[in-house]
Structure 1
């Protein structure tokens, strides 16, 4: 195998990969031998199919696959070893259809090279570095959040402080009919919260939906309006 690079200009180059028969022939033959052992072809016992028939049926597909594997590995290794800073992926440049009946193959790839430039930094600008300390409240809030997210759900008959509730908001006039699940911590008003705490499964509550939750986004999410 031979790989060469031709520079078109400072930002473009063409890499040519020449794959010889000796690069792939042993691998192709090994795969075809395995196919011969396992092929089920009418009129022949397994393992006794003529190699000529195996090559006729599978040879071209195996050849194409193995050459492509060798080609991709060789191109990747070349770009790595030569430390070429390439923009995007190499693009195949072959203008004519590949003759897979040939023994040797030549592939051209177009490369987009990263431009080289220097940056002169004049002066210095201060950067603020923030040191954030996690106080007890932050830690406890995070623990509570993780417990709610990954903890085991337990059904309850009566609502208590800190619970999550699943229910349906309905309002015929506003055409609201929204099944939703929310945490009591999201309720904004104390009066509304008192109505919910102590409610039992199946109860119907009358709530003021305006400013029911902490912000408009939550109102839209939970109420569907």
Structure 2
């Protein structure tokens, strides 16, 4: 077998594999001899079929199968030996007039080569890194939420100021059908709230979505519509009242503190707000880090330039699905996937340049931490090492779970890398402003 590579350009190459007849003839002859002895063909007794009849029926398929094995192994070994960094898989060039009886069989494969480039993290300088603070408005809101959570629920017959309403938002055209618990202070316009006053169970209130809330993103929560649909959404929705309730808020006293903190670590309103602030801002760090990661990613995509073997990739896309695509369909699919492919290459290069990898012990420790955190949430804060190790072993026996957790660990490593190497502009915001920044509205 002879294999050689011919470069078309920096990103495209053709591999030519030549196989001589002598490389497979003996194996084919042995196969045909066995077939002659075992085959039962019409008109001949078993074992008495003439070789020319056996050869006519079985030789070509046998050659195709055996040569295909040789070619596939030769190509795979060659790619590994030459350490070729490919995009997609090798694409065979088909020859309608291919002669399987020739003394030399030549096969050609097109290759799309990964581009050579480097990633300069300094190009992402200027990205904003947010620090989210829990302001007084949020703290007061959370205190009131706790008071309501531990308060007494009273069933009411008609809606009044301060009451809560269980109901269902519906719109047939947009396929909206979502149950929600609302209070009248969620609406942007006081006139909207007044429509509910005096209503009873079973009544329907018709609402216009345009300007319904101070923040259009609330439509995502209450109507369960996508982010792409909320901006400028101008339709009517029906809200059918299913139940009306008022809440007698729990008093902020020793009894409430004892329910919230049985160990007595919080005994005052100021202490409660400090605890809320601490917990909230700890959670906010994860959200701010994720946005920082996303924003650096976008900056690197915009500033890291390299070419792709587009023609090859479009041809490859035509072949990878269950149903072959037309050239036009492949063009559309390539446009959809190009950005993702570019970032995969950038991310891979960052891993290599900075020696980012996940060791088994790191993966195991991270999984253990996740499990302990989850168990604590369900009241099992004192789980033994043996209990946790048993769960870790089960989780890490699942390849999909290992992949998911590995991605989480790598993301954390990427965030740490970016925090160290990307000169960001730090900005302190409250959570409401952070949400606006998240959706590009600041």
The equivalent residue for 1:27 is 27
- 1:206 corresponds in structure 2 to none
CA distance 1:39–1:119, change in 2 (3 Å):
same
For the pair 1:65 / 2:306, whether they are aligned, the reply is: no
Deviation at 1:95, TM superposition (A): 4.5
How far apart, in 1, do the equivalents of 2:379 and 2:117 lie? 46
- Which residue pairs with 1:87 in the alignment? 87
Correspondence for 2:37: 37
**Cα distance in structure 2, aligned partners of 1:55 and 1:139:** 72
8 Å CA contact 2:21, 2:102 repeated in 1: no
Displacement of 1:55 in angstroms is: 0.3
Write the distance in 2 (CA, Å) between the matches of 1:101 and 1:80. Answer: 30
Consecutive aligned runs of 4 or more in structure 1 exceeding 3 Å deviation: 125-132
Distance 2:13 2:24 in 1: 27
Which residue in 1 is equivalent to 2:360? none
Shift of 1:44: 2.9
The normalised TM-score by structure 2 is 0.29
Structure richer in helix, relative to its length: 2
Q: Distance in 2 between matches of 1:139 and 1:31?
A: 65
Q: Which residue does the alignment assign to 1:6?
A: 6
Task: Give the distance between the partners of 1:24 and 1:90, measured in 2 at CA.
Answer: 23
Bigger radius of gyration: 1
1:34: Cα distance to partner?
1.9
Partner of 1:113: 113
- State how 1:167-182 maps to structure 2 within 5 Å: none
Whose RCO is larger (CA < 8 A, sep 6+)? 2
Within-5 A mapping of 1:1-225: 1-122=1-122, 132=370, 133=373, 134-135=375-376, 137=378
Quick one: structure 1 residues 10 and 37, their matched pair in 2 at CA, closer, same or farther if it must change by over 3 Å?
same
Q: 1:41 to 1:119 in 2, by over 3 A?
A: same
Name the CA distance, whole Å, in 2 between partners of 1:96 and 1:3: 22
RMSD over equivalenced CA pairs, Å: 2.9
TM-score (norm 1): 0.55
Task: Write out per-residue CA displacement over residues 127-167 of structure 1, whole angstroms, 9 at most, x where no aligned residue.
Answer: 86996522172669xxxxxxxxxxxxxxxxxxxxxxxxxxx
Could you say which residue in structure 2 is the equivalent of 1:149? none
Q: CA deviation at 1:42?
A: 3.4
How many angstroms does 1:26 deviate by?
A: 1.8
Q: Is the 8 A contact 2:32 2:58 kept in 1?
A: yes
Deviations 1:60-93 (A, max 9, x none): 1111121112111111111111110111111122
SS in structure 2 of the partner of residue 108 of structure 1: strand
Matched positions, count:
140
Distance apart, 1:102 and its partner CA: 1.5
Q: CA deviation at 1:101?
A: 2.6
Residue 121 of structure 1: how far off its partner (Å): 2.1
Residue of structure 2 equivalent to 1:153:
none
Residue 96 of structure 1, CA deviation: 4.7
Q: Hey, what does 1:152 align to over in structure 2?
A: none
In the alignment, the residues of structure 1 paired with residue 34 and residue 88 of structure 2 have an alpha-carbon distance, to the nearest angstrom, of 38
